[in-house]
Each structure stands twice: as C-alpha cells, then as structure tokens.
Amino acid sequence: MTGGRELSWDGCVNVRDLGGLGRVRPRAVVRMEAPTRLSEVGWAAAWAHGVRTVIDLRDPDEREPERAPRPPGIATVYVPQDPVGTPFYEQWKEIDSLASPLYYPAMLVEHPEPVVTAVRAIANAAPGCVVFHCAGGKDRTGLLALVVLTLAGAAPDEIIADYLLTYDRMKRRYDELGFRDQLAAVTELLTARDTTFEASLTSTIAALKMPDFLLDNGLSDTELAALYARLTL
C-alpha cells in the first residue's frame, strides 16, 4: 500500500514520495521515472511538493529532450550509476542487463562508489525535497531507494513492496514501447536462478549494514548527519 505517497505529476506515471517508510519524513525524497514527459503542470506540481533538486542516475547518452522546461529554481545533479566499460558491467549485461535485483549485491560490493556518490548528493542538496530517477525508475532508482530506506530503518517488506510498485506503474509505458511484460520477464529470470523478488531483495537488505556501508565507502560523518537530518522524522 502507498497511502498518501502516490503523487500525480502530469506526464509521469511512476512518482511516489518515500515518506512514511521507516523513519523517512514526507517531502524529503521522491522516486520517479525520467521526467522526460513531465508537462509544465507536472513541473509546477513538483515545485509545489517542495522539489528543489533532481538527481539523474542515467548515463549521459540516455538523456533526452524534455517536454517542458524545469523551473529555474530546481537544481539538477548528474550521478550516473552504471559502471560502463568495466568487467562487472559486461558480465551483468549478459546476465540480466542490469534490469533485475540480481545484480544489486555484486554492485554494492564491487562498485559502491556510484551509489554512495548519489547518497552524498542527497545529503548535500539544497533545502527542499530531492527527486531521484533513472529511466524507468526501477533498477538504478530501486537500488538507491533500497539503500536510503535501509538506512532509515524501513522494514524489508516495505522496501520490497515499494520496489515492486514500479512494475505496475510502468506497465503502460512498456506496453507503448512494445516491450515484453517486465514483471513476467524478470520473474522468469529469477525463477531460472532458483530465487524470487522477495528472496533476492531480502538477502541484499540483510547484507547491507548501515551506516557502515556508507561510512566505509567514503561518506563522511558530517554528510551522514546531514543525510539523517534530511531524511528522518
């Protein structure tokens, strides 16, 4: 259930506030798909929600022209998450195209830097709500949400339920693009490896020791304090 977390921003279908999960306060962080289709009305709704920073997790070659200009008071921070050109990236492109929770544990161990850089961007953002997104708001966005929510004490079932919402929210978009049903496709991939969404995500969350993961990978004590102050009730 999403309660009052669902946001209606014209042009986007996968927008939700993470407030209410664990100790996250409302209007601190929002996850969404790329705001490419967000209209002027949609951007006005984001501004009214308090959004002052947008963190883009996509690679540079994924960025597309947007339907409407962003309000001038919203800062954009680019923090690409895919470690393109590494053996890790080539390996996981073959396994799941970095489009399932299977790659999460290996990413956090082998390439924690992009994730921690994104967390740092949240901590250091100007006052106001922070939005983060990738393309569909599912995988890279899902991993960052998992890290943030684990830090904020969200229960595994809350994190998993939030992750799975994207499959329903984005189904219409994927149908428009002629893509296979993504929930069915990823379920099949996980089943072939004798796991499930729940088991895969639960094991990732259990192995993620907080705040040690962030501090051990470069987040400072000052940044951690700023992150807690931004996120938590």
- CATH number assigned to the domain comprising residue 123: 3.90.190.10
- Residue type (1 letter), 175: D
Q: Could you tell me the pTM of the whole model? A: 0.97
Domain count, the chain: 1
Please report whether residue 211 resides in a domain: yes
CB 131 within 8 A of CB 54: yes
- Going residue by residue through the chain (233 aa), what tens digit of pLDDT does each one get? 455 799 999 999 999 999 999 999 999 999 999 999 999 999 999 999 999 999 999 999 999 999 999 999 999 999 999 999 999 999 999 999 999 999 999 999 999 999 999 999 999 999 999 999 999 999 999 999 999 999 999 999 999 999 999 999 999 888 888 888 999 999 999 999 999 999 999 999 999 999 999 999 999 999 999 999 999 97
Q: Which helix (H) or strand (E) holds 53?
A: strand 51-56
pLDDT at 2: 56
Please report whether residue 3 resides in a domain: no
pLDDT at 178: 86
Please report whether residue 30 resides in a domain: yes
CB 35 within 8 A of CB 14: no
Please report whether residue 7 resides in a domain: no
Please report whether residue 222 resides in a domain: yes
User: What's the Cα-to-Cα distance from 46 to each of 36, 66, 83, 150, rounded to whole Å?
Assistant: 14, 15, 30, 25
Please report whether residue 2 resides in a domain: no
Please report whether residue 4 resides in a domain: no
233 token code pair: 């009730």
Q: Which domain holds residue 195?
A: 12-231
Sheet arrangement for strand 16-17 = 16-17, 29-32, 129-133, 51-56, 75-78
pLDDT at 233: 77
CB 21 within 8 A of CB 147: no
